[in-house]
Chain A
């Protein structure tokens, strides 16, 4: 089944404790992206990647890092999480930047 998977689905952590949220797609998509969704603000793009080793900032990149060492994986790294990064995070992928993006199931992160 074609899908985007994210792990973990739920995470509660404390301020400053480094964490990684994984994202994987099995559709051989070149384009992958991370979003956060907050009440009243909608979906906002954090980072995106057009292909292996090619990443760029979205609208809200501060406090986040990404890497794209393999085509199928696009992990999101929070090196020193803070409470304002409490949010619902979505990974998405598409064949190219021109195409429809397909979303993963989401990761709900709480930073205490």
Chain B
């Protein structure tokens, strides 16, 4: 069965304290891996798509990387406005999008 596991479930950082969120997957024949940001009570907001191992993408303080078994979302010098839940989703060979349960990030001043 296709699985997507995100860790940690929750993460608390001080402003400026860099860290990484993990998304591990067991999908064979990965078609794409997506990262979304979700603020409370709102819809997921697209961040990145990664398609092949070794690929990296950056946007402001965020950098996403992909290996054959996992993806990392690196957050460099986070600010309080980066506080949100970060969702990882993998697209299976059947094109379904399987979501992880998310990492809830809190960045304190």
- Name the segment of B20-28, B62-70, B74-82, B92-100 touching the other chain: B92-100
A100 sits at the interface (CB 8 A): yes
A43 to chain B, nearest CB (A): 4
With A and B bound together, what is the CA distance between A40 and B99 in angstroms?
A: 12
A12 sits at the interface (CB 8 A): no
Chain B neighbourhood of A105, CB < 8 A: 42-43
Contact A98 B31 (CB under 8 A): yes
With A and B bound together, what is the CA distance between A58 and B36 in angstroms?
A: 20
Chain B neighbourhood of A81, CB < 8 A: none
A97 sits at the interface (CB 8 A): yes
Contact A106 B43 (CB under 8 A): yes
In-complex Cβ contact of B95 among A98, A102, A104, A106 (8 A)? A98
- Name the segment of B11-19, B44-52, B53-61 touching the other chain: B44-52
Output the nearest chain A residue to B6 by Cβ-Cβ distance: A42
B87 sits at the interface (CB 8 A): yes
A1 to chain B, nearest CB (A): 14
Once A98-B31, A100-B34, A100-B49 are accepted as A-B contacts, the answer to whether A42 and B99 lie under 8 Å apart by CB is yes
Chain A neighbourhood of B31, CB < 8 A: 98
Among residues 68 to 110 in chain A, which have CB atoms less than 8 Å away from a CB atom of chain B? 90, 92, 97-98, 100-106, 108
With A and B bound together, what is the CA distance between A90 and B36 in angstroms?
A: 14
Contact B100 A42 (CB under 8 A): yes
Q: What are 17 A-to-B residue pairs whose CB atoms are below 8 Å?
A: A33-B97, A40-B101, A41-B101, A42-B87, A42-B99, A42-B100, A43-B44, A43-B89, A45-B97, A90-B43, A92-B43, A97-B95, A98-B91, A101-B34, A102-B46, A103-B45, A105-B43
